[in-house]
Amino acid sequence: MYRILQKIWQLGKVGKGIAPPAQKSLSNFCGTAAIRHVDAGSCNGCELEIQALGGPHYGLEQLGMGLTASPRHADILLVTGPVSRHMASALQATFAAMPAPKKVLALGDCACHGGVFAGSYAVLGAVDQVLPVHGRCPGCPPKPEAILQSLQELTCAAKP
């Protein structure tokens, strides 16, 4: 064990280090937010990037934000994917269950403008066809840094 630790100490850091995102500074901190995520019919690419936010590298919790299981506790509704016909009523019910003030963030190209699913018979369209959208984060899928920035802009816009 001692030899292994000594070898690690001699080698030091190997490889390229990862710089933390600029959003982690406390000067950019605007307040806390509970986020309710709803997949309205996506391919799950955006969900993988949302999962990455929960890790220590991006630190969603360090910024005062976290995912919640109940819309009754949520401040922000994070919607991924185009709104399919079968998910429209569930999405509206989730939005109605949220307490005021509430914000909606369309995440990914599909949620922003329909993406590759635009024009399909099973899809109503982008999220703004069903709910009022307060912020958009385009990309297919958007990078975790872009998601964090969009969430921060949305929470900071609500705070004085």
Residue 102's CATH number: 3.40.50.12280
Quick check: 72 pLDDT over 90? Answer: yes
- The per-residue pLDDT for range 2-52, each reduced to its tens digit, is 777 777 767 665 544 444 544 444 444 566 889 999 998 888 999 999 999
- The answer to whether position 1 is within a domain reads no
State the helix-helix crossing angle for 144-158 and 45-53, rounded to 10 degrees.
70
* Residue 116: domain span: 30-158
pLDDT for 96: 94
- The answer to whether position 16 is within a domain reads no
- The answer to whether position 2 is within a domain reads no
pLDDT for 55: 85
Lowest mean pLDDT among 59-63, 64-68, 93-97, 150-154: 59-63
pLDDT for 48: 92
What's the Cα-to-Cα distance from 114 to each of 151, 154, 158, rounded to whole Å?
21, 21, 27
- The per-residue pLDDT for range 108-157, each reduced to its tens digit, is 998 999 888 888 888 998 999 999 999 999 998 899 999 999 998 888 86
- In single-letter form, the type of residue at position 9 comes to W
- Cα gap 125→85, rounded to integer Å: 9
pLDDT for 14: 53
Q: Which residue has the tokens 């995102």?
A: 21
SS3 137: strand
Query: Contact, 150 vs 137, CB < 8 A?
Result: yes
63 pLDDT tier (thresholds 50, 70, 90):
confident
Query: Contact, 143 vs 54, CB < 8 A?
Result: no
First and final C-alpha spacing in the chain: 54
Q: What is the tally of structural domains in the chain? A: 1
- The answer to whether position 36 is within a domain reads yes
- The per-residue pLDDT for range 82-117, each reduced to its tens digit, is 999 999 999 999 999 999 889 999 999 989 998 888
Counting every residue written for the chain, the total comes to 160
